[in-house]
Amino acid sequence: MQNRVFVTGIGIISAIGYDTKEVLVSLLNRRSGIGSLTLIDSVYRNEIPVGEIKASNHDLQQLAGPGSNKWNTRTTLLGVLAAREAYEQAGLESGTESRAGFISATTVGGMDRSEIFYKKFMADKSRGRLKNIIGHDCGDSTEKIADSIGIKGFVTTLNTACSSSANSIILGTRLIRNGLLDVVVAGGTDALTLFTLNGFNSLMILDREICRPFDETRNGLNLGEGSAFLVLESEERVDRSGKKVLCEISGFGNACDAFHQTASSPEGEGAYLSMKLALDSAGILPGDIDYINAHGTGTRNNDLSEGTAVRRIFPAELPLLSSTKSYTGHTLAAAGAIEAVLSVLAIQNGVIYPNLNFSRQMNELDFSPVTELIKDIQIKHIMSNSFGFGGNNSTLILSRCS
């Protein structure tokens, strides 16, 4: 008999807010966080819109408070802030949890600092501050964030591109379901860097305007940055403590598209499989889903592939669907967790978010995303998709608890 897994705390920092309260206000006011790049010195400064958090690393250190000088990479700083919010909301006390785990995910690691070091070092091998490269490894931010909230047990890092933090949540849920751990803080963190800006630009999938997910005229994604973590606890722990739960992780699925390194298959096979697996694992039918928070990056390829797969899963009536990436940008490894937090907020507040910037239905699809903010709606089950390069496709199902 598997344990049920509940969410007891959420934390987030993104272009639309520094914590869950601010993020919710932005969502309800249709206020996108996508704008100009201001903090990085890039040739694309006035050309590429991004979901940038308008705080320098120094500002983030101020926010993080005492001890923050040891967190010098942007991914670590963002992660510390988000993990702390989640941890505090769940009422956990640092260092007292014996069967606890911490699972994070990132694609850039400490690249925001390393690329600064690299430039100086390549020009003159006697220059460059070593402090800027010691945080480079993907695992470094994970360990530092885990330390900041006092988790010493199971600590690991996932790296599956844009589905990474959804997979963190899946792994955390599994560990609790199978009785290996009682509480897991799971999520991810990623920061904007020249590395990713230039890389994605070379793939010609960055829109020069604010992205338009599922729109016929869509022309690419906007990169974003941020971090989010969820505190997952076993049913037994929750019952014992009597604490309030925010929702349940009732199902999940992961599958491989096995089509191309960066493009999705036209029939959306990987997406179809991950959604189907998630529904099966939650023991619910397609008709039970009230809202789909889509991966919806705004690229020509993803939205067609995902839209096709969604239609295959929901051949009859489609649930309400939207992508929140025109609010936050595509936050890469953090996307799965950020969008899971937005899903938790949707369930808690009875709202469904609009797909901003939409005006024209895609020719190949027979449905459109939601464009109005819907309030005072009872949501029972949300399906959240996160699809990564390498064909790693993940789907989470979050459910309201009565």
Q: Considering beta carbons, is residue 22 or 143 the nearer one to another protein?
A: 143
Least distance to another protein from the beta carbon of 24, Å? Answer: 32
| Residue-by-residue DSSP string for 155-212 | EEEE--GGGHHHHHHHHHHHHHHTTS-SEEEEEEEE---HHHHHHHHHTT-B-SSS--
Instruction: Determine how β-strand 183-190 pairs with β-strand 247-256.
Output: unpaired
Binning the chain into helix, strand and coil, the percentages to the nearest 5 are 35, 20, 40
CB atoms within 10 A of CB 121: 17
Task: Choose which of 97, 115, 182, 215 interacts with another protein (CB under 8 A).
Answer: 115
Which of 138, 162, 211, 247 is catalytic? The answer is 162
Structure tokens at 290: 């009230």
143 phi/psi in degrees, rounded to 5: -65, -40
Neighbouring C-alpha atoms within 13 Å toward the C-beta of 1: 3
Q: Considering beta carbons, is residue 243 or 259 the nearer one to another protein?
A: 259
133-152 residues in contact with another protein (CB under 8 A) are 137-139
Which of 211, 247, 295, 381 is catalytic? The answer is 295
Task: Choose which of 270, 296, 298, 369 interacts with another protein (CB under 8 A).
Answer: 270
- Residues forming beta bridges with residue 98, ordered by sequence position: none
Task: Choose which of 133, 194, 232, 334 interacts with another protein (CB under 8 A).
Answer: 194
CA–CA separation, 60 vs 215, rounded Å? 35
Which stretch, 45-53, 113-121, 229-237, 302-310, contacts another protein (CB under 8 A)? 113-121
Please say if 256 is a catalytic residue. Answer: no
**CA quadruple 237, 242, 244, 245: dihedral sign:** positive
Q: Considering beta carbons, is residue 243 or 300 the nearer one to another protein?
A: 300
Which stretch, 58-66, 86-94, 131-139, 308-316, contacts another protein (CB under 8 A)? 131-139
Which of 136, 247, 330, 381 is catalytic? The answer is 330
Please say if 330 is a catalytic residue. Answer: yes
Please say if 162 is a catalytic residue. Answer: yes
Residues that contact another protein, how many (by CB under 8 A): 52
Task: Choose which of 195, 348, 361, 380 interacts with another protein (CB under 8 A).
Answer: 195
Three-class SS state of 41: coil
CA–CA separation, 164 vs 104, rounded Å? 8
Tell me: does residue 44 bind another protein (CB under 8 A): no
Residues assigned a catalytic role: 162, 295, 330
**Which residues contribute to the site for another protein (CB under 8 A)?**
43, 107, 109, 111, 115, 118-119, 122, 137-139, 156-161, 167, 171, 174-175, 178, 180, 194-195, 198-204, 254-263, 269-270, 273, 277, 281, 388-392
